[in-house]
Amino acid sequence: MKLVRNITVGHPERLKKPVLLTVLSNLVNIVPFCLSIEAVNIIFRSFDGSGTPLDIRKLWFIVAILFVYMAVMAVAERAAYRANFRGAYEMSATGRVSLAEHLRKLSLGFFTRRDPGDLSSMMITDFSMAETGISHHLPQLIGGFVMPVLAFLSLLFIDWRMACSMFVALPVSIFILWMSASLQDRLGKKQIVAKINAGNRFEEYLQGIRIMKAYNLLGEKFVRLEEAFGHLRRASIRHEATVGPFMMLSIAVIRSGLTLMVMCGTYLLIGGELSVLTFVLFLVVGSRVFDPLTNSMVNLGEMRYFSIAGGRIFDFMNEPEMQGDVEPAENSGIIFEHVSFRYNDKEVLHDVSIEFRQNSLTALVGPSGSGKSTILKLCARFYDPSEGKILFGGTTMSALNPEHLMQRISMVFQDVYLFQDTIRNNIRFGKAGATDDEIIEAAKKACCHDFIMRLPSGYDTMVGEGGCTLSGGEKQRLSIARAMLKDAPVILLDEATASLDPENEVEVQKAINTLIERRTVIVIAHKLRTIKNADKIVVLDNGRVSEEGTHDTLIGNNGLYRKLWDIQEQSAGWSIYK
């Protein structure tokens, strides 16, 4: 069943124990009905004129059984409660970890198609909804249907006409819910999309708060946020206002069964075809059956809504991970053979062929948007090429095990992200299980040991989220220390000194020089003077290789590189005048 599959995020087997215990718990709940029927029967027989005395011993025996029932019920309910809630919370915990692990194994192309707020909503809200469905609504849904079914089967043996009249409206009620199911799903999906959009806009609002302050885009003037919450309000009202009447009609139809049963019983009683005792028995049972049944109908509507959230998680978990099982070779050379690549429908690389030789330094230069960063991401297999192939150590990169490939590659980004953790643990991300001595040695090589020791708690100093408590140069050097600790044979550098002040630039450049020794290095360079001594310089323009060679060769070619070099040399002496 699709609803159960979605609500359990594709693992319906997790419901076996909770469902079994819930059914047993509800079976135990039938005992009071049976005992009530017997007690009423005993009392009526003593007053029906037949001379049968009131059996006090039997009534006390029924009372004793009820006390035993209370103890058994407490045990059964406790077991069912623990199974339901433990199963729900374990499903959420393991599911969130599995989702995070799955995220790590996806191509970055997936993230360009999805809004980060969507994934955050899935991780928190969707799992919470699935959790609530399993822990709260599913047991009541099962119990609400089990008890009426058992009651109906039992009452059939007493009087089939009364039993059928009591439940004759149930198929009509279910039909009403079935007819409105597609409408519920459609409106529910729209409401969830509106929630995600509102979350995205609020996240955008927080991240862009500095810009909004600078340009006075505050409060009601931030139209995108206001519109998103307005759309959520309309979607929520539309969902409740449209689905609610169907739900109320379905519940009213179910409850009409009690009225129909009373009418049928009155007719049969007047005609002498039904005893007063049997009529009273049906009234007692009927008064208890319809409350759980109406609760089940409400829960069924909630479950359909929660099923949408579970279905989103289920679909996401089926997103294909990056494939490959071949072990990377020791040779760390990378070759691009007629590689083209597109983001969605826009092609950004066109028939690119480049060789990055082992233990050499290759620089990528060119105007903004020429494809430099894309080549670096392809080298790290953040994406697979749209056309052509990339070889790592002579093997097609798409055939390599992605996890093992990344063990052989270190990246130093221009925009460094540090986790909200200690300095020590941020460096240790480069090598799980690294000793303190190894961390300190990497920090010294990256020229950051001295500034770390000046911090209040040294290596145990907590870093603000994203590294907000450190300067750009300090973050950059910690990133290099992380890469040094990893000790990978391939280093990818995304112009690590582009936005640093002169003092920090010198320190970072020293760290980089230590990092790249005896390694295959590919670097994006904006300051051409920093890569004059590169083994090879590849000049890119509009996603194509314009020219390549050493610095002296390219200067003599009088091509794009010479033009970029001259511009930078001329701008070196610029100053700002009043």
Confidence of residue 336 (pLDDT cuts 50, 70, 90): very high
Residue 72 contacts residue 78 (beta carbons within 8 Å): no
Residue 496, token pair as written in the block: 């690590």
User: What's the confidence (pLDDT) of residue 530?
Assistant: 78
As a whole number of Å, the CA-based R_g of the chain is 35
Residue 232, token pair as written in the block: 């959520």
C-alpha distances (whole Å) from 75 to each of 144, 390, 424 are 20, 63, 50
What is the value of pTM for the model shown? 0.68
Confidence of residue 339 (pLDDT cuts 50, 70, 90): very high
Query: pLDDT at residue 259 above 80?
Result: yes
User: What's the confidence (pLDDT) of residue 88?
Assistant: 72
Neighbours of 321 (CB within 10 A): 14
| Torsion sign, CA atoms 292, 293, 295, 300 | positive
User: What's the confidence (pLDDT) of residue 67?
Assistant: 82
C-beta contacts of 392-396 below 8 A and 24+ residues apart: 392/328, 392/329, 392/332, 392/333, 392/334, 393/328, 393/329, 393/330, 393/331, 393/332, 393/333, 394/329, 394/331, 394/333, 395/326, 395/328, 395/329
Query: pLDDT at residue 46 above 50?
Result: yes
- What confidence tens digit (pLDDT) does each residue in 497-531 have? 555 556 656 666 677 777 677 788 888 887 787 78
- What confidence tens digit (pLDDT) does each residue in 270-300 have? 888 887 778 877 877 777 777 777 777 777 7
Full set of structural domains in the chain with CATH? 2-317 (1.20.1560.10), 327-407+535-572 (3.40.50.300)
**Rounded distance, CA 227 to CA 373, Å?**
35
- What confidence tens digit (pLDDT) does each residue in 86-119 have? 767 777 777 777 777 888 787 776 776 677 667 7
